[in-house]
Chain A
């Protein structure tokens, strides 16, 4: 392999084509005044960047971007547009001069700074030669999990990830406090929809919803071995619930997954994550130090074949610690996304008027 990329390197060629697509789509988002068009284009932007992430060897991130960018954020944006309006005002062009000047200047500085960065794919750059390589070399021995991203995410940087989960939980609480937990006004009957009948859609959705939920579980438990993990699985699980609400109506969904269940599960996930950390501390380790998840006298009793051969027995704590905290992540992320969706989809313009009267 050549150290310096040439244009005929397939990898680089796909990379550049995708980046040009991203630039074109971003330009179109800047230009359009219709927010709906902007949202659709943002969906395409996410899809393109997710393919780009696969090309750049980051399948875990691509997974997340695919589900979050193209799925959840489109739906959340649509929910927000429903409660506001679909068009942005046309600004006076003279007011665009100052922002344009700022952006061109800052962009010029950034591009100038970028010329000093190591070339794309430089294996000897400080980022790749030290810390990244150290993780790759140490993880199979320390953690015993093939997916290094999961190993770093859940074990080495477990405390950081705990913070992220708490932030997601807090964001869900914030949205629920601002928009409510679901429909408080009585939902109006379906609008007059002459000529529409969605039998095909309903049947297909009935087939797909359990498959999506099942696939989320696969992603969850396959996260040690391949791309995947709690964050991705949580969002996929939420997508299954959202699809149910889209096709069968929010009221039906709320009967199945009540807002109360959603918010309890969200807190339960954070609690599970923190609980694993506290158990490790009680057994004499540090917070989230999974090697101390089981006290030594219990660990001695665990048969080695449970995890494929006696040589992997000393990874018992790590395996179970990662599995438990990923489960916590799954619960929190899925329940938070569902709560956020309930908040946006369940609110109607009437709610605001009723609140104003109170």
Chain B
């Protein structure tokens, strides 16, 4: 019962994230929405596994937590640098460049 209530709450939170992803206004808002949506998805998957009596499917939640990160970094990098191939600079690189 409590688990079902938790799943309902997570679905509501996911719906709000979808609204933010559709509304924007900036692309960073959308990336934020996707990232947060992904975290909520991980939780929902874990809950659903317990709700349906097959908690072995937590594997999928683990993979979400990992892939969500890759996607967020790809989107962030795309919007910030317009490239997928450039390395991300460190402070040391930057200081070397500016002396």
Contacts and interface: CB of A to CB of B under 8 A. Distances in A.
Interface residues of A, number: 75
A36 B78 CA distance: 10
B24 to A, nearest CB: 7
B87 A21 contact: no
Main secondary structure on chain A at its contact with chain B? Answer: helix
A202 B80 CA distance: 16
Nearest to A73: B71
Interface in A176-208: 183, 187-188, 190-191, 193-194, 196-199, 201-202, 205, 208
B69 A208 contact: yes
A258 to B, nearest CB: 15
A75 B37 CA distance: 18
A71 to B, nearest CB: 4
Given A219-B63, A226-B59, A246-B73, 8 more contacts: A14-B11, A40-B21, A40-B30, A51-B44, A215-B62, A227-B60, A251-B85, A252-B87
8 contacts: A25-B22, A37-B27, A40-B27, A43-B71, A44-B34, A227-B60, A236-B67, A246-B77
B70 A239 contact: yes
Nearest to B81: A191
A77 to B, nearest CB: 10
B71 to A, nearest CB: 5
A246 B76 CA distance: 10
Contacts of B27: 36-37, 40
Interface in B54-75: 56-57, 59-60, 62-64, 66-71, 73-75
A104 interface: no
Contacts of B86: 187-188, 190-191, 249-250
Contacts of A197: 89-91, 94
A54 B41 CA distance: 11
Given A21-B14, A43-B34, A245-B84, A75 B89 contact: no
Given A41-B22, A47-B41, A51-B41, A67 B51 contact: no
A18 B48 CA distance: 13
